[in-house]
Structure formats: structure tokens, C-alpha cells
């Protein structure tokens, strides 16, 4: 129980920020490209309560934590309501709206990385803040990689649908009703993590280190 409390304390803010800004980014991008649905429904918001799904964001992760002793965690937020038909160029703009969420996670991973360097440069000795910053990087890299997996309804699936020629895009989009079950099966078989998430997270992490490399001169 103490381990759970410590884990929740460290990850609570990073997870809330990661989920909130991911979903809000979709809403901001949709409005920019012509779809006001999320805005009209109050989902273009930085208020975490607007995006938290009690079952998917809280109950499922806690149950999985106890059921697997912390070895496997999964959760989700309330999807932002989108009407791709309202976008100015629906097929093209769908990719930008989908990409906005993972892009927000990459940006947050960068911010948490900068915080790690700031804490080190500032000589902050409190371990909790360093653990939280590292949790922020990990959480956002996980969300970045997972959501880019190219199966709808994940963001990567919508991006791929946008890029495919119309005939193939239509056929590919038809798997969306079954996409969640396909993704869950691949998660449980560890296919997604081994063959997709681990490489994507490694590349994204390497890019982050390249971006912040000038800060190494302070050490």
C-alpha cells in the first residue's frame, strides 16, 4: 500500500497534465482547422476534470496495478468529441488534429526534461521533485508512442488513414469499431511495447537529449 501511495504521489501531476494537454491539444487543433464541436461542448479546456473518465482514468489503472503488482498499467481519458466533416479539408486536416495530441506529449516530455536539468543545476536535493520530473518524461513518452500506433481509433491510425489514398483509407477506417480490441490484444501480447513503443520511445528520448544537450555545459 505504501508503494501505491508513493507511486500515485509521484505520477499524479504528470499523468493529469499529460492527459489534459493531450486532449486539449486535439480540441485546439480541431477548432483551428474548422471543427468547433469540442469547443462548443466545453472540452477545449485545461481543466483536468473535463477530460478525466472515472472508470478509464482511475478505476482501471488502480485495478490493474493490484492485479499485476504494478507490472501492467493501462488507462484512458474521455475522447474529445470531433466531427471531421466540419474540418475545412477533412482528410488532410484529420492528420493534423490527430497529431496534435502526441505533439503535446512530446512538448511536455521536453518541459519535464528541462525541469530535471533545472533541478540539477539549482542543486535541489529533494528527491521527490526529481522523481516527479522523471515520471513526467516517462509518462509523456509512453503516451506519445502509444497514441502514434497506426491502428484507429488511436491517433496514429487516424494519421495513417489521412495519408492513404481514398480507396484504401476508406477500407482501413472500417476497422475502427474493432480497433480497441485489436490494440488491447496486442498490448497483452506485448507486441505493441516490444515492436513499436520501445523503439519510438528510444528515438523520442534521443531527440529530447539532443535538444537539451547544450545544457550539459553547466555540468
Task: Give per-residue pLDDT as tens, 33-54.
Answer: 999 999 999 888 988 888 888 8
What is the predicted pLDDT for the residue at 68?
58
Residues (pLDDT < 50) of the chain are none
pTM confidence score: 0.92
pLDDT at 212: 94
User: Within a 10 A sphere around the Cβ of 175, how many other Cβ atoms?
Assistant: 14
Identify the domain containing residue 208 by its residue range: 2-218
Q: Total domain count for the chain? A: 1
User: Tell me, what's the pLDDT at 161?
Assistant: 96
> Which helix (H) or strand (E) is 182 found in, with range?
helix 176-188
Q: Which residues are catalytic?
A: 23
pLDDT of residue 126: 84
Amino acid at each position: 500500500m505504501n508503494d501505491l501511495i508513493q507511486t500515485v504521489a509521484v505520477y499524479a501531476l504528470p499523468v493529469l497534465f499529460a492527459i489534459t494537454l493531450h486532449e486539449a491539444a486535439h480540441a485546439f487543433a480541431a477548432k483551428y482547422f474548422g471543427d468547433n464541436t469540442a469547443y462548443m461542448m466545453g472540452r477545449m479546456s485545461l481543466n483536468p476534470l473535463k477530460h478525466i473518465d472515472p472508470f478509464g482514468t482511475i478505476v482501471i489503472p488502480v485495478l490493474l496495478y493490484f492485479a499485476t503488482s504494478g507490472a501492467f498499467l493501462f488507462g484512458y481519458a474521455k475522447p474529445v468529441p470531433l466531427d471531421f466533416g466540419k474540418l475545412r479539408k477533412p482528410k488532410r486536416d484529420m492528420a493534423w488534429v490527430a497529431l496534435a495530441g502526441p505533439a503535446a506529449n512530446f512538448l511536455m516530455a521536453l518541459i519535464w526534461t528541462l525541469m530535471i536539468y533545472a533541478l540539477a543545476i539549482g542543486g535541489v536535493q529533494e528527491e521527490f521533485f526529481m522523481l516527479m520530473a522523471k515520471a513526467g518524461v516517462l509518462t509523456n513518452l509512453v503516451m506519445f508512442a502509444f497514441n502514434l500506433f497506426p491502428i484507429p481509433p488511436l491517433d496514429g491510425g487516424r494519421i495513417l488513414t489521412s495519408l492513404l489514398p481514398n480507396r484504401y483509407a476508406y477500407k482501413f477506417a472500417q476497422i475502427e469499431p474493432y480497433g480497441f480490441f485489436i490494440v488491447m490484444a496486442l498490448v497483452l501480447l506485448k507486441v505493441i511495447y516490444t515492436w513499436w513503443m520501445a523503439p519510438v520511445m528510444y528515438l523520442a528520448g534521443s531527440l529530447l537529449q539532443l535538444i537539451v544537450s547544450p545544457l550539459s555545459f553547466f555540468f
